[in-house]
Structure 1
Amino acid sequence: MLGLRFPRPRRSPLEHIGSALISGSLVLFFHVALAMVPRLFLSLSLLSMLPIAALVMVVTILLGRCLRHLLGLSASAPAFVLFNILFLWGVYITKIRQAIPSLLDAIINAECALLLFGFYRIFSGDPGMVSYSSKPIESDQDDFAALNLPYEKSSSFSRIRHCNSCKTSVKGFDHHCPAFGNCIGQKNHRLFVVLLAGFIIAESSYTICSTKFITISADAQRMERIHTSSLVIGTMLFCILQVLWQLVFLIWHIYCICFNIKTEEWINWKRYPEFQLVIEHQPGSPILETRFTNPYNKGLLGNFLDFLKSKD
C-alpha cells in the first residue's frame, strides 16, 4: 500500500464560477441550436435528422471554442457535462414527465440522481495518484525506483503511468478524461466504466420517454406544443448521438479489460519495455524486429478478476 495522496492544483473560486457560467451559457446555446433542427427540417424522419444534428453539434462546439478564444474566456468540460445532465433532467421534469407512467418516471429520476452522484465521485475522487512530476514515465521500473517502491511486474495493479494533463503519476493509469475532469486510474476505473454504462442507459431511457411524449403530442397543433416538441426532439437527437459514441467507447474499455491492457499503454506501448518483444530473425543478424506483447494478460477470467479487485 502506497498510502500517498496528492491534491490536484486548485483554481480560485472566481475562476471556477466564471468557467461554470461560460459552460452553462454554451449548453443553452448548444441545445437551442439542436432544437432548430426539427423546426427547420420538420418533414424529415428522425433518422434523417441525425447527421444534420451531428453537424450542428460539431459546428456549435467549434464556434463556441472560437468565441472563447477571441474573447479570452475559459470554460470547464466537467461543468459542461454537469449542465447537460441538469438541462436534460429539467426538460424531462417540465415537459416530458406528464406523459410518462409513474414507474418509468421513478426510474428516470433515479438514473439522473445516480449519474450526478457518480459524476461527483469521479470528479472529486483520487484515481490513484502517487506523485507530481513534469517528467514522463518511461517504464514501471523507472517510476517505482524513483519512489523507492518495490516493483511487481506480475501485478496489473503495480503499473504507474504519467498523465501529461495533470502532471502526475497514477497507479493503473488508463487515460485522462476531460469530461470528468480527472484521470482514470486504479481507484476509479471501475466507477468510470459503470458511469459510462449509466450514461448510455439514462440517455436511452430519455429517448424512449421522449418518443412516448412526441407520440402523445403529435395531434396537438398549439404553438406551445410545437416549441416543446422541437425542444424534446432536439434533446432526443443529442441523446441518440451521445449513445452511439459512448457505446463504442464502452466496447473499447470492455475489450481492454478482457486483455488487461490500459488505453495509454495500448497507444504508447513502444515507450514501455515490458510491452516490447525483440525478435532476431537469424542468429547474429543485426536486423531486429520489435513486436507488441502483453505481460499482464492472465486470460479472460484472470483479467476480469484483476479488474474487479482493487489494492491501495
Structure 2
Amino acid sequence: MRRFARILTTVALVATVTAGTAGWASGNAQEAVTGAPAGSAGWRAAGLPDPERTSPAGIARFFAGLDPVQQRELARTHPTVVGNLDGAPLALRYEANALSTHGRYGGARVLAHDPRGRGQVALVYGDLTRAEHVAVIVPGSDTDAGHVRPLADMATALRRATGGRTAVVAWAGYTTPVGVGLDAATGRLAEAGAERLSRFTDGLAAVRAAEPSVFCHSYGSVVCGLAAHGLKAKDLVVFGSPGMRAANVTELGTSARVWAAKDPTDWIDRVPNVEWAGLGHGTDPTDPSFGARRIPADDATGHGGYFAPGTASLRTFAAIAEGDVR
C-alpha cells in the first residue's frame, strides 16, 4: 500500500507540473550551459589562467599581479572571458561587459553576461565594493538574458526597501527551466546551477565583497538547496519554493541561517512535496518539520508577489539583508 501511495503521489506530481499549475507547460528540455566562458580557447592559448581549473581566489591573485594597463588590455582583448571571470576585479568585469552588452541593461552594472544558449546575466544595483550588506537573488523558471525584468524588479524593490544601503545582485547565472514541465520537476538544471552559484559567491569573497544574503525564488530554491553546503552566504532565504532537495535544514549542510516564506495564494502550494525516482524536490521549507525560520507572507499575492511594496515579506527580506533580524 505504501508503494502504491507513493506512485499515486508521483503521478499527481507529474500531472501537476506537466499539465501546469499555472495553466501551461514546456515541451522542450533545456540544455544547461556550463563550463568556461565563450572565448576561453583564445584566452588559454595566450597562456592565461584556465577559467575552469583556477579558483576565484587564484584568479584574484593573478589580476593583483598585473598593473592597471595590463588588466584593461585583457578586458579589451578578451571581454567575454574577463566579464564572466569570478575573482576578477569588479570594475574590470563591468568594463568588459559594457563592451559586449552595449548598454542593453540600463540602470544596472553588468557583472556577468554569457551569450550562449538563452543567455545568462548578473546585474548589480549599488556598489558591491563599498556596501556593508550584499544580497543575491536567484530566480526560478523562465529567466534568462532576454527575460530578466521580473528578477530586476525584485532586486530594485529589495534595494529600495533597505533605503539603498544594500547592494543587490540579480543573478540569472544558470539555465532555468522553461514553463512548468519535467525540467522544473527534476534537479538536473539545478545541479548545474548550484555549481555556478557556488563559484559566484566564491568570486564575491575573492574580491572582498560582504558575505551575501541569498534569496531564492521558486526553482531557484532547488538550486540554492543543492548549493547550500558550499555556498558562502550568511542567510539563505527561500520563497515560493517547491522544495530544496533536503528533508530538513540539517541536511542542507550550511552554517547560514535558513528562512522560508510562502503566501496562502501561491500556486506552488498545490505541487506535492515529494522526491521519488528523480521527480519532485522534497519537503516544503515552510513546514515546521523542515526547521527553517518562517517569514510572514500572508499579505503577499500569488507566486511572484513577495517583493510587492508594503508587504510583510518584503519588509522582512530587507531586515534580513541588513542584518536586523536575529
Which TM-score band (shorter chain)?
under 0.3
- Higher helix proportion (structure 1 or 2): 1
Instruction: Say which structure, 1 or 2, has more relative contact order (CA 8 Å, 6+ apart).
Output: 1
